[in-house]
Amino acid sequence: MAARNRRPLLRATLGAHLAGEVDPIATTEAARGVAYALVDRARDSDDPEVTRRLVRLADDQGLDELAELWADAPAVSLPGALWRLYLLRAWVQRDPVSAARQFGAGQGRVLPREVVAGLADPPGPDGVRDLADAVLTGVFEGDLDVALDRAAAFCWVVAGGRAVLADDLDDADSAAADRVTRGGHALARTADQLAAAARRWRAGTLT
């Protein structure tokens, strides 16, 4: 019953911005409108339950539904950044052991970014789960650019960790090493995109 009650949170906000339009431009504008409406809703509320529901939005609505709304948004935009943050949280929640191991493997390679990420040393599964929730909480309650920078730092460190793990795998399983390397490169791109979104938010130009 609780999950059914939560579903209108996204649908109702989307409906208010689409207003019957279905063309691609209107859908893009609706996706942007929903992203800003959700952020504004949390920031205008004193109820911590609103933030909790938004942090768990992908759990309650489903990643597929968020993908329909935000996956095609420009990477350096508010909806694009939110989509990447929810994807990141979904991975960490699904496999916190791997996330912690990869972050740990990357420690010492990008030291200033480790500090920005703010994970304990050594990182553990509970720590990376808490970080993923804290980043989204920061989006809705704190300084959005700081939250984006923190997520970017986490991604950069994990990308560095994947490079280390790929090197370790290379002699034993070159195909696996190649997959890990590609995953690291993709995560580094995500880090760059989140950091760019943070800069644009500070400049007042994030769309």
pLDDT for the residue 61:
86
17 vs 191, residue with greater confidence: 191
The 10s digit of each residue's pLDDT in 41-90 is 899 998 999 999 999 999 988 898 899 889 989 999 999 999 999 999 99
Give 170's pLDDT tier (boundaries 50, 70, 90).
confident
Phi-psi region of 142 (alpha: psi -120 to 50; beta: other; left: phi over 0): beta
pLDDT for the residue 117:
86
Tell me the backbone φ, ψ of residue 125, rounded to 5 degrees. -55, -40
Question: What is the pLDDT of the chain when averaged over all its residues?
Answer: 87
pLDDT for the residue 17:
44
The 10s digit of each residue's pLDDT in 93-112 is 999 999 999 999 998 887 77
Instruction: Copy the structure tokens of residue 91.
Output: 């991975």
pLDDT for the residue 28:
77
pLDDT for the residue 10:
55
Give 24's pLDDT tier (boundaries 50, 70, 90).
low
Tell me the average pLDDT across 187-197.
Answer: 97
8 vs 160, residue with greater confidence: 160
Give 11's pLDDT tier (boundaries 50, 70, 90).
low
What is the domain range of residue 110? Answer: 2-203
Length of the chain: 207
Give 13's pLDDT tier (boundaries 50, 70, 90).
low
Tell me the average pLDDT across 146-161.
Answer: 95
Assess whether pLDDT exceeds 60 at residue 178: yes
What does the alpha-carbon distance between residue 178 and residue 187 come to, in Å, rounded to a whole number?
14
126 vs 6, residue with greater confidence: 126
pLDDT for the residue 183:
95
The domain tally of the chain equals 1
pLDDT for the residue 171:
82
